[in-house]
Structure 1
Amino acid sequence: MKLSTKGRYGVKAMFELALSYGDGPIALNSIADKQNLSVHYLEQLFSNLRKAGLVKSVRGAQGGYILARKPEDITVGDIIRTLEGPLAPAECVIENDSKECYKADYCVTRTIWEKIRDSINNVVDSITLQDMINDYKKMNNNDSYMYYI
């Protein structure tokens, strides 16, 4: 299973907003510059993030976007599922999907796909934007990490 640029860029952009949480709105141009992303592409992503209630838009000359909730209240899973849809390695194990496989009762691989799905969801739901900020600060305050091989 591989995330598309939607999920990867969305997490990067939300991280930038989290770094500036409480400092006012951040323009998409600024996020695009810092993360080397396309402004046009970010506009599309932020439209979905806004509809999902993860960001708020602020109009005006000093406008931009802010997080709709505190960084500790937004998970990587929230972002990825908003932009990518359900996280599952196979169609037959997508949660809340009405499609039922007629082989489900005797499909030995289905349990594998369910375990993979659950593991992925547990990981992305356990990491908040605040966790990412904390990791970033540790990495940038401790130059000695570069010397470990």
Structure 2
Amino acid sequence: MKLSTKGRYGLMAMYQLAQDYGQGPISLKYVAEKQGLSENYLEQLFSSLKKEGLLTSTRGAYGGYMLSRKPHEITVGQVLRSLEGQMSPSECVSEDGFDCVRDDSCATRLVFAKIKDSIDRVIDSISLEDMVRDSQPGLYREELK
């Protein structure tokens, strides 16, 4: 399973907003520059993240984007699922209602289900705050909490 640019870039952008949490609205341009991403592409991603309730925005000269909740309340799983959809290695274990005729006797489905459970467990256990803390152990700021 491989993440698309949506998931990778969206997570990078959310990480940047977590780094700057508490500083008010952050411009799209700033996030794009800090993470080396396309501002136009980020605009599309932020629209999806806002619809999912992970971001808020403010218009105007000092406007921009902010996390809708504290960094420890937003998980990597929430970000990735809002941009990528379900994180499944195969359709047969997705939550999209895929109906397989071999469902009861398929050995590979059991493996795919274990992979999906492992992925979900990992991405749901890592918050944006964890990402900031892990990437900057000497600079971790208590105000993220």
Q: TM-score range by the shorter chain?
A: over 0.9
Tell me which stretches of 4 or more aligned residues in structure 1 moved more than 6 Å: none
Q: Secondary structure at the match of 1:66?
A: strand
Q: Any unmatched runs of 5+ in structure 2? A: 141-145
Q: What is the identity, as a one-letter code, of the residue corresponding to 2:134?
A: D
Question: CA–CA distance in 1 between the matches of 2:79 and 2:138?
Answer: 23
2:130 alignment partner in structure 1: 131
Question: Which structure: larger Rg?
Answer: 1
1:82 alignment partner in structure 2: 82
Q: What is the identity, as a one-letter code, of the residue corresponding to 2:85?
A: G
1:48 alignment partner in structure 2: 48
Q: What is the identity, as a one-letter code, of the residue corresponding to 1:105?
A: D
1:65 alignment partner in structure 2: 65
Question: CA–CA distance in 1 between the matches of 2:138 and 2:125?
Answer: 20
Q: What is the identity, as a one-letter code, of the residue corresponding to 2:3?
A: L
Question: CA–CA distance in 2 between the matches of 1:37 and 1:88?
Answer: 26
Question: CA–CA distance in 1 between the matches of 2:57 and 2:84?
Answer: 21
2:119 alignment partner in structure 1: 120
2:34 alignment partner in structure 1: 34
Q: Any unmatched runs of 5+ in structure 1? A: 142-149
Percent identity reads 56
Q: Secondary structure at the match of 2:136?
A: helix
Give, in angstroms, the shift of residue 137 of structure 1: 1.8
Question: CA–CA distance in 2 between the matches of 1:135 and 1:115?
Answer: 27
Q: TM-score, normalised by structure 2?
A: 0.93
Instruction: Name the Cα RMSD after superposition.
Output: 1.2
**Deviation string, structure 1 residues 35-73 (Cα, Å, up to 9, x no partner):** 000000000000000000000011110000000000000
Which residues of 2 match residues 15-30 of structure 1 at below 5 A?
Answer: 15-30=15-30
Question: CA–CA distance in 2 between the matches of 1:139 and 1:13?
Answer: 21
2:97 is equivalent to residue 98 of structure 1: yes
